[in-house]
Amino acid sequence: MSLRQQALAAQKSKATFVGSIAVVLWAFLALFTTEVGTIPPFQLISLCFTVAAVFSFVSIIVRGKSVLRVLSQPLGAWLLGVGGLFGYHFFYFVALANAPAVEASLIAYLWPLLIVLFSALLPTETLHWYHVAGAVLGLGGATLLVTKGHGLAFEPEYGFGYGAAIVCALIWSAYSVLNRRYGAVPVEAVCGFCSGAAALGFATHWGAENWVSPD
């Protein structure tokens, strides 16, 4: 194996390892969200993204990269990054606060299916029958979760939470597809997006919520 092949293999292994950690973190998101108790959503967003931003900035500095260069990105990328992160997590926290965690999470995780559908509508892509079939199956499964298998009847007290979960899925799928427009933006720029989401979280928290001290 040549040095270039060894480097590529090492890079793939690293990417697989990091991706595996991401899957684990996604899996624990619902559990961690339900465990925070009565912390309101805007405060939760501000706290979570402050921690993420700090660790991201430290990582950039340790690796000797320029923070200013990383943050020098198009306005559209900033609006999409901050809006996507803030919007998704706000509606996700609202969903889990107003509906059963399992059902709300599974509805919110319709976003991979929606990414396939939305991507198929791009100019260079084609919408095939199996895209539609997959969407119908996915939506059918979500309907069964909400209605508990009893026709169109569902528990109305959870309607707001289920609605928030649907919005959550739409936001993240749209965010993921639209990110293709900014393929040149480095992944390190997420540190700035996290900072923006944290600042927006603090601003909306102080204007609309009361501070709840974490236990």
pLDDT tens per residue across span 45-100: 999 999 999 999 999 999 999 999 999 999 999 999 999 999 999 999 999 989 88
| 103: amino acid identity, one letter | E
In this structure, is residue 119 part of a structural domain? yes
In this structure, of 115-119, 162-166, 188-192, the range with the lowest mean pLDDT score is 115-119
pLDDT for residue 146: 65
More confident residue, 39 or 215: 39
Distance CA 149, CA 153 (A): 9
Q: Are 88 and 96 in contact (CB under 8 A)?
A: no
Tell whether the model's pLDDT for residue 163 goes beyond 60. Answer: yes
Distance CA 36, CA 105 (A): 16
pTM: 0.83
Tell whether the model's pLDDT for residue 145 goes beyond 80. Answer: no
In this structure, is residue 26 part of a structural domain? no
- In terms of residue numbers, what domain contains 158? 101-181
DSSP conformation class of 185: S
Q: What is the mean pLDDT of residues 100-107?
A: 84
Question: CA torsion angle for 174, 180, 182, 186 (degrees, to 10)?
Answer: 100
List pLDDT tens digits, range 10-25.
778 887 888 888 888 8
Kindly give, in sequence order, each residue whose CB lies less than 8 Å from that of residue 25, ignoring residues fewer than 6 positions away. none
In this structure, is residue 1 part of a structural domain? no
In this structure, is residue 201 part of a structural domain? no
Burial class (CB in 10 A: 0-12, 13-18, 19+), 101: middle
Tell whether the model's pLDDT for residue 165 goes beyond 90. Answer: yes
In this structure, is residue 56 part of a structural domain? no
In this structure, is residue 120 part of a structural domain? yes
Tell whether the model's pLDDT for residue 174 goes beyond 90. Answer: yes
In this structure, is residue 21 part of a structural domain? no
Confidence band (pLDDT; 50, 70, 90) for 197?
very high
pLDDT for residue 203: 95
Distance CA 196, CA 192 (A): 6
pLDDT for residue 24: 87
Q: How many domains does the chain have?
A: 1
pLDDT for residue 181: 87
pLDDT for residue 51: 95
In this structure, is residue 108 part of a structural domain? yes
Tell whether the model's pLDDT for residue 153 goes beyond 60. Answer: no
Tell whether the model's pLDDT for residue 5 goes beyond 80. Answer: no
| 41: amino acid identity, one letter | P
Q: Is the dihedral of CA 51, 56, 59, 64 positive or negative?
A: negative
